[in-house]
A and B are shown apart, each in its own frame.
Chain A
Amino acid sequence: MAVPAIELHDLAFGWSAGEPLLSIAHFSVARGERVLLHGPSGCGKSTLLGLVGGVIRPSRGTIRLLGEDLTTMSAPQRDAFRAEHMGFIFQLFNLVPYLSVLDNVLLPLRFSRPRRERVPDPRSEALRLLDALGLQDRRLLQRRATELSVGQQQRVAAARAMLGRAEILVADEPTSALDADTREAFLRLLMRECASAGSSVLFVSHDRSLGTCFDRSVSLQELGDLPPGLEPS
């Protein structure tokens, strides 16, 4: 069996030793799999994103991404891993305000040489992704990111997250600021593009009705309960 894109095992995180904010017995996302992780706000979604993104370390357990153990890496190694293999889309404020749309899309290539080398012609690849995500208007390219509508901004963020064939796409409520029609179109285009690129998707949302667009839908709260026979020894 192929190495999973994301594999969390016996994971716990808490600021103090007592009650952990987040506790996950086992969770994995296969390569190319698109998973919706849903749960009410305050159930530890941001913490999970921080753990998977490698910006915080778990109190316990292992995080394996593409087979590599994040918990044994140094902070700069985790930053480099994130730069090379991952893409993020947030709910709002995805774009650097002083960069143009095109420069925002090209941003991940600035921080990772391997990722830059995967894209021989960054500009045309950026244009292709923006096209595929429904931003065909070339006049937008040199606009400042802040001049775009929220829906346009989310598409730019998605193009950025995918540029350079990021293996893992992590999205944190990227559609909750969009109206229903835009949300539908955005999700459809995003999923189609991820499928063609073979990217795995971890999509976090409070809205479980989005589940129909995904391969699998999981409740974050249920992840804390250990399946029988898998208790940590």
Chain B
Amino acid sequence: MTALPGLALRSLWNRRGTAALTVFAIAVSVALLLGVQMLRDSAKQSFAGTISGTDLVVGPRGGPVNLLLYSVFHIGEPTANVSWASYRLVAQHRDVAWTVPLSLGDSHRGFRVVGTDRAYFAHYRYAGRQPLRFAQGTSFAAADETVLGAEVAKSLGYRIGDRIVLSHGLGAGSFVQHDAVPLRVAGILAPTGTPVDRTVHVGLDTLDTVHGTAAGAGEHAAITAFLVGMKSRDTVLVMQRALNEYRGEALQAVIPGVALADLWRVVGVADRALLAVAACVALAGLLGMLAAILTSLNERRREMAILRSVGAGPRHIFGLLVLEAGLLAVAGVAFGVVLSYALQLIARPWIASRYGITLAVGPLTWVEVAILAAVVLSALLLSAYPAWRAYRVALADGLSVRL
């Protein structure tokens, strides 16, 4: 069997034009497959990293996923509020390290406004407990100041010191403008790849002023939800249970990781569909190879008769064709990996600045290695068909080709 690898290589080299195209087709589909897989990983990580370091998200009773959607992802609208009294109660609990209030309901030119306090910038964590970072300026200090997410500032072209006006309600075309109280941009956050980038942050005092609902120093109207950090992880479940069973108000406490996983099961359908499409492209690449091999079979009948005359059996012919397909697939996969790394390195700075997602360009993961192995294995399996046809032809032709 030592005869075959050398023959297969030279045979491919002889048809290097077709072979190169086949390798290229496989490489492009492999690069796509790897790219999609890497995007899935990054998207999942980025999704799971939307909120981190927070032990509980607390809001009015309802669906946990819904709470997460409007409080963290700013999708949909809250159904009820949480009273300031309940918030104070939790905030002052001895096991609680910190709390961050969130008050939603206003917008600025299509971007959501979150009313909160300065604890937000100290305690909000994303993607592996990274804290929020100010690209420019600082946190809001006065009641007429605001902090913008990276994308808000970028897409609306705001800079430190600019004045903006909030709208009541969430639509971009809201008619009620809080134009009596223009706010000064005090800080702009660095990109995070989370909904924070699309958020306008103001103090709770500011919202009260804007809405004319000031309730006195340290007192506020109801808030939408709040984030809780416990002093010890051991107390998280106890606190969750206590809040869920709290009789004073209909509250629910959600562990973000659990709700995120629930949500991902819904969102994940789309990315599995993407992977399926990429897999189909890879299959198309392999079918191209199959077609190329099948087309070449007839013109190779003489070659096979010669090989048989020097002692090759039909199984050698079978092996030769499978080997050629295997070599094409391996070359395609190798080239595809190089292509995918090249694309990732080129796209990395762009994606980081645009979406705040830092692509981790590292060694191949086991899943990726398994995908590559699956491509080569599929190529070998597919090549069994032309190889079997060649086997039959070699058996029928013997030493003399009857064309």
| Residue B110 at the chain A interface, CB threshold 8 Å | no
**Partner pick for A50 among B302, B316, B400, CB 8 A cutoff:** B400
Please measure, in the bound complex, the distance between the C-alpha atom of A103 and the C-alpha atom of B13, giving whole angstroms: 15
* B-chain residues with CB within 8 Å of residue A112 when the two chains form the complex: 311
Among the stretches B1-9, B25-33, B36-44, B71-79, the one at the interface with A is: B1-9
Q: How far is the CA of A56 from the CA of B395 in the complex (A)?
A: 8
Docked complex Cα distance between A112 and B316 (Å): 12
Contact yes or no, A108 B14, CB < 8 A: no
Query: Which residues of chain B are within 8 angstroms of A187 by Cβ–Cβ distance?
Result: none
Flag whether B201 is at the interface (Cβ < 8 A): no
* A79 touching B313, Cβ below 8 Å: yes
Is A58's CB within 8 Å of the partner chain B?
A: no
- A50-B398, A172-B400 known; A79+B311 contact, CB < 8 A: yes
How far apart are the CA atoms of A115 and B307 in the complex, in Å? 16
Q: How many A-B residue pairs have CB under 8 A?
A: 78
Interface string of A89-131 (1 = CB under 8 A from B): 0100111111100010001101110000000000000000000
Q: Are A98 and B10 in contact, CB atoms less than 8 angstroms apart?
A: yes
B311 touching A55, Cβ below 8 Å: no
Say whether, besides A88-B399, A110-B3, A111-B3, A98 and B11 are in contact (CB < 8 Å).
Answer: yes
Count how many chain A residues have C-beta atoms less than 8 Å from C-beta atoms of the other chain.
Answer: 31
Contact pick for A95, options B306, B311, B315, CB 8 Å: B306
Contacting pair A53 B398 (CB below 8 A): yes
Question: Chain A nearest CB: distance from B308 CB in Å?
Answer: 6
**Given A103-B10, A111-B3, A82 and B311 touching (CB < 8 A)?**
yes
In the assembled complex, the CB of A14 is this many whole angstroms from the nearest CB of chain B, namely: 16
CA distance A98 to B314 in the complex (A): 20
Q: If A79-B311, A111-B3 touch, does A55 touch B398 (CB 8 Å cutoff)?
A: yes
* Residue of A whose beta carbon sits closest to that of B308: A55
Answer yes or no: B312 CB below 8 A from chain A CBs: yes
Chain B: interface residue count, which band? 20 to 34
0/1 per residue, B90-123, Cβ < 8 Å to A? 0000000000000000000000000000000000
A84 CB to nearest chain B CB (Å) = 7
CA distance A96 to B308 in the complex (A): 11
A179 to chain B, nearest CB (A): 23
Q: Is A34 an interface residue (CB 8 A)?
A: no
A57 to chain B, nearest CB (A): 11
Cβ of A135 under 8 Å from chain B:
no
Q: Is A160 among interface residues, defined by CB-CB distance under 8 A?
A: yes
A84 touches B311 (CB 8 A): yes
Contact of B312 among A84, A93, A111 (CB under 8 A): A111
Given A49-B399, A90-B309, do A110 and B6 touch, yes or no (CB 8 Å)? Answer: yes
Are B310 and A56 touching (Cβ within 8 A)?
A: no
Query: Which residues of chain B are near A79, meaning CB under 8 Å?
Result: 308, 311-313, 316
What are the residues of chain B within 8 A of A49 when measuring CB–CB? 399-400
Is the beta-carbon distance between A96 and B306 smaller than 8 angstroms? yes
B262 at the interface (CB under 8 A from A): no
Given A53-B398, A110-B3: A97 touches B309 (CB 8 Å cut-off)? no
The 5 A-B residue pairs whose C-beta atoms are closest, nearest first, are A83-B311, A98-B14, A110-B3, A111-B311, A55-B398
| Interface residue ranges, B against A (CB under 8 Å) | 2-3, 6-7, 10-11, 13-15, 302-303, 305-316, 395, 398-401
In the assembled complex, 26 residue pairs joining A and B whose CB atoms fall closer than 8 Å, in A order, are A55-B308, A75-B314, A76-B313, A76-B315, A79-B308, A79-B311, A79-B312, A80-B311, A83-B310, A88-B309, A90-B309, A93-B401, A96-B7, A96-B303, A96-B306, A96-B307, A98-B13, A98-B303, A107-B307, A107-B310, A108-B310, A110-B7, A111-B3, A112-B311, A172-B399, A172-B400
Apart from A55-B398, A90-B400, A98-B14, what are 17 other A-B pairs with CB-CB below 8 Å? Answer: A46-B399, A49-B399, A50-B398, A56-B398, A76-B315, A79-B308, A79-B311, A79-B312, A83-B310, A83-B312, A84-B311, A88-B310, A94-B306, A96-B306, A96-B307, A110-B7, A111-B310
